[in-house]
Amino acid sequence: MADTKHRANAPLTRPQFAHESEEEFARLLDFYGIRWEYEPRSFPLEWDETGRVIESFNPDFYLPDVDLYIELTTLKQSLVTRKNRKIRRLRELYPDVRLEIFYGRDYRNLLFKYGLAKGWDSPAPYVKTLAHDIERILFTEAQIQDRVRELGEQISRDYTGKSPLLVSVLKGALYFIADLSRAISIPVAMDFMAITSYGGEKASSGAVRIIKDLDEKITGRNVILVEDIIDTGLTASYLVKNLSARDPASVRICTLLDKSVRRIVQDLPIDYRGFEVPDIFVVGYGLDYRQLYRNLPFIGVLKEEALQRT
């Protein structure tokens, strides 16, 4: 049964847009996880004799991560001529300011053209179809890869000379352990478990049964439990107890996502955490809804219609 507590619930506070096209563009930027500011700066272009500004230009958007201003423009000729003159003047007066002009409404293609919506032009067509079910992106492919690299470096430092064993549970942490292990610069081994948790499609009940155990003994090993997401903490807590009973040298937890607001289990120390997530059901990069969406390269929030589909 679908559990409504997990639904996407974060309406973004929006500025008052002058045009509908700007609002549409802002939605698209949100969708691709690109941060933006709306008309944040006014560039003076002309002054009268007293030094008073008599003409200025306010680009529609600023994208802080790429230090780029964007001006949306219709193709109405009367407006274009005046605007073009202003933009020429802006380029003369402020040569260091980066401004791109987006003509027409095909913003999606323009975002790709300017390399802003990375990671979306690459997936297989099948993945593109799945991506249509996404309401918005929480963590882009680039953000995930950067964070995983940092976690790998941290683990490499902490376990120098120790050769830890990465233990992961199929299938959600599959992509994470694959990338994490390659970001670790010391010798590591890997082993896998499979469990069934008795619960709904979107949450576990914490009652866990092991259906595939580890291949190797872990006695005396430094174990790192690699998890996709820790929600209530029931699964991780069961696994830590289970692994600890096998006399390893140590057991630590590394989770990509931490939905800590949902935690039921007290006292579950998390040594490595990729991102904190709000109480929203997320998919992608290994995380599924009814076994789908694992192969999306980003982590996003599903559209309501995709959650309702049977």
| Maximum alpha-carbon separation in the chain | 84
* CB proximity list for 20: less than 8 A, separation 6 or greater: none
Continuous H helices in 132-288:
141-158, 174-182, 234-244
Angle at 296 between CA 294 and CA 301, to 5 degrees: 85
Q: Active site includes 231?
A: yes
**168 binds ligand IMP per the rule CB under 6 A:** no
Rounded to the nearest whole angstrom, what is the least distance from the CB of residue 204 to ligand IMP in the complex?
Answer: 4
Tokens (6 digits) for 74: 């219709």
Pick the binder of ligand IMP from 233, 274, 297, 300 (CB under 6 A): 233
**140 binds ligand IMP per the rule CB under 6 A:** no
Residues 55, 75: Cα–Cα separation, whole Å: 22
Catalytic residue among 133, 231, 258, 267: 231
Residues 87, 104: Cα–Cα separation, whole Å: 17
Pick the binder of ligand IMP from 287, 296, 306, 307 (CB under 6 A): 287
Pick the binder of ligand IMP from 71, 179, 228, 258 (CB under 6 A): 228
- Give CA torsion, residues 254, 255, 261, 262, to 10 deg: -110
Identify which of residues 123 and 199 has a Cβ nearer to ligand IMP in the complex.
Answer: 199
Touching ligand IMP, residues 240-269 (CB under 6 A):
259
Contact map string, positions 188 to 217, toward ligand IMP, x by CB under 6 A: ---------------xx-x-----------
Tokens (6 digits) for 39: 């008309």
Rounded to the nearest whole angstrom, what is the least distance from the CB of residue 254 to ligand IMP in the complex?
Answer: 13
**224 binds ligand IMP per the rule CB under 6 A:** no
For strands 250-258 and 272-276, give the pairing. parallel
Binding segment toward ligand IMP, per CB under 6 A, in 51-59, 76-84, 116-124, 275-283: 275-283
Residue 224 pairs with which residues in a beta bridge? Answer: 166, 252
**59 binds ligand IMP per the rule CB under 6 A:** no
Identify which of residues 26 and 268 has a Cβ nearer to ligand IMP in the complex.
Answer: 268
Whose tokens are 């003409």? That residue is 55
Binding segment toward ligand IMP, per CB under 6 A, in 89-97, 113-121, 122-130, 225-233: 225-233
Identify which of residues 185 and 196 has a Cβ nearer to ligand IMP in the complex.
Answer: 196
Pick the binder of ligand IMP from 140, 168, 232, 255 (CB under 6 A): 232
Residues 137, 301: Cα–Cα separation, whole Å: 6
10 Å Cβ neighbour count for 101?
16
**296 binds ligand IMP per the rule CB under 6 A:** no
Residues 60, 101: Cα–Cα separation, whole Å: 10
Active site residue ranges: 231
Site residues for ligand IMP per CB under 6 A: 172, 203-204, 206, 228-236, 259, 281-283, 287
